[in-house]
Amino acid sequence: MAKQKKKGQSGQAKNYITRTQAVRKLQISLPDFRRLCIFKGIYPREPRNIKKASKSATHSTTFYYTKDIQYLLHEPLLGKFREQKALEKKIARSLGRNEVQDAVRLEKHGMRKVKLDHIVRERYPTFVDALRDLDDALSLLFLFANLPSTTEVPARVISRCQRLCHEFEHFLIATNSLRKSFLSIKGIYYQATIQGQDIMWLVPYKFVQRVTQDVDYRIMGTFVEFYYTLLGFVNYRLYTSIGLVYPPKFDTASDERGAELAAFTIEGRQVAGAIEQGQEPHTIANGHAQNGNTELVQAQIDKIAQETVQEQMVGQEEQPEDQPETDGIDTFTPAAPEGDTLPQPDVTSEDAARLFSDFTFFISREAPRHPIEFLLRAFGCKRVGWDNVLGEGAFTHDETDPRITHQIVDRPAPAQALHSLQGQEEVNGQNLQIVKPGFIMPGRIYVQPQWIWDSVNEGKLLPTNVYAPGETLPPHLSPWIKPTSGQYDPRATLEEQELEGETAAAPHGEEEEEEAEEVGHIVGNDDVEDNEHSEEDGDDGDEEIDAGDMDVAGSEGESEDLDEDGRDAFAGFEDAAEETSDLDEEAQHQKELEAEAAGRAVRPDGNGTNKNNKAIKARQLERTKKDEEIERQKMMMSNKKRKLFEKMQYSNNKRDVQAEKLRSKRRKLEATGKR
């Protein structure tokens, strides 16, 4: 006889456990249970049948896997949580006895720090796993780095997040790993490629943040506590992989004066090992060499650099001559003309390092300094200057420096060129020459900030005249979304997207709209609105007839009735064209009568209108032929395939109509601009 199964000991009742049962089993408080689950990466689960999992459960009951809770029983953090709970009881007892000194001593020396190193190694057994899970970590850490300090978010947490984020940005600058960036309403999106993994994160704009009470900062703080442990491990591995010392030296005083990225001193391990005798290292920060190095230190640094160059040259000489060069990036071309377009690889780090390497930039005070500086330095620029009010660390604070080739401004077009200096300003004991707003320096290129982002996304330097101050900027689109065939593409010109005859048919519609507006002003808006409604109804009716043309013509009964009554059957597209021309003549005659009644001059149709009418007729004939061909193909399909095809056709038609509306809107805007 088989062993009988007891109820509640198998199936979903055994696989799932409620949150209340889990808290009782672990013997910790609910906040500690949430914190432990966040650290370990354990999330609630939803069973297929709630009643089978637990009889007393409702839709608001939270379930977990029983194996996950069993796994938490062996976690070393449980002991630390219990010690903290016992210590909190002792502190509360001391405060109740008015023993304040004992409570302070217990809180200072008795509270043990929770370390998450073993959890990071456990959740990410390989470094690639940590890189794949870095998107959310970077987004949250950059968010906390821009928050104001409050009781929920201490200042030490914000400063630690800022330091880790700047260290990560320095690695991207050193390796030129940044690939794309996009300005959105939420913030600035960045994408970097590290060891073959694409990492994308969001950085909020540096506006004044309002801390609301409907956000649970305790839960977010738990995630931040785990994420900055993770990012610290990742930064250490990244720095050591390219031969840099981690952590980099950090100047607190310079950071307080707004240096940000310039407050860090990046050193190589070879250079650091060569100067272990107490001298200061030789560092390069934004195009300036730090002074104070002795001749011995400088000789050691030059010797190490020369040996590195010689090793690279020897490695290149050992490469056989017959082997082709592989420095350039590979491109994929389709084997056949009808083949699919293969996705091309992105730019390499060498291409990114050369994008802005030949220029010297100056950031005006109204432009966002940190994102522009980060992008410029990540794509090869070594000399970036800005106004002294934006902080320290600039290549130059002098706006009239002749070495500046490009200036980033976000103001209206300047009134006139600057032929003489406009003023002087004393900063740190030095007289700096400044330029008043509305004046420009001759021989310098002025561009708006969007030029940097668009050039980075395109992988090449775009024309600067399109991004000049006061110019209408081109559309800034996401670099990760590529337009498909049939969709409207703002980057392409109208000639590349328009259908045949669409341009010729556009002016006719515009003249009708202008005439309708004139009639509305003279006769009255009510009559025009009625006419518009009637015209719209008529257009809808025509479209419905066109859409169901094949169904009506394909019915045998109706065609026989038409033949028996002696009516003319469909004789081809020429009769349809003649009927359309008759309708156009009647419409033109009606317009002339309305114009005479309104007291306006009658505008006879010229050659342009005849050409437009011909273009419209040609498009209608082509559309009719296409619809007939589609209906003929649908007759050969099964019902299932026909329904699927109709759904696809509906979505495609909807997309085409939307694209045509956008093209006509753009055509009107361009025509208005030309006038």
- Dihedral angle of Cα 34, 40, 41, 44, to the nearest 10 degrees: -40
pTM for the whole structure = 0.71
Query: Confidence band (pLDDT; 50, 70, 90) for 552?
Result: very low
Q: Residue 544: pLDDT above 50?
A: no
Q: What is the CATH number of domain 349-481?
A: 3.40.50.10190
**In whole angstroms, how large is the CA radius of gyration of the chain?**
36
Q: Name every residue whose Cβ is closer than 8 Å to that of residue 503 and which is 6 or more positions away in sequence.
A: 494, 667
DSSP string, 144-203: HHTSPP-SSS-HHHHHHHHHHHHHHHHHHHHHT-EEEEEE-SS-EEEEEEETTEEEEEEE
Per the DSSP assignment, residues forming a β-bridge with 199 are: 192
Q: What is the pLDDT of residues 589-629, one digit of tens each?
A: 677 777 666 666 555 555 556 666 776 777 778 878 888 88
First-residue to last-residue Cα distance in the chain: 95
How far apart CA 650 and CA 619 sit, in angstroms, is 20
What average pLDDT does range 103-117 have in this prediction? 84
Helix (H) or strand (E) holding 424: strand 423-427
Between residues 508 and 21, the one the model is more confident about: 21
**Where in the chain is CATH 3.40.50.10190?**
349-481
- H/E element holding 545? helix 525-547
Could you give the CA distance from residue 78 to residue 73 in angstroms, rounded to a whole number? 8
Rounded percentage of the chain residues whose pLDDT exceeds 70: 67
pLDDT confidence of residue 661 = 85
Contacts of 22 (CB under 8 A, 6+ apart): 33, 64, 69
DSSP 8-state secondary structure symbol assigned to residue 662: H
Cβ count within 10 A of residue 109: 8
Q: Is 230 helix (H, G, I), strand (E, B) or coil?
A: helix
The helix-helix angle for 502-522 and 573-598 (nearest 10°) equals 30
With cut-offs at 50, 70 and 90, classify the pLDDT of residue 220: very high
DSSP secondary structure letter of residue 211: -
What is the per-residue burial (b if ≥16 Cβ within 10 Å, else e) of 66-91? bebbeebeebebbeebeeeeeeeeeb
Q: Is the dihedral of CA 411, 416, 417, 418 positive or negative?
A: negative
Question: Does pLDDT of 458 surpass 60?
Answer: yes
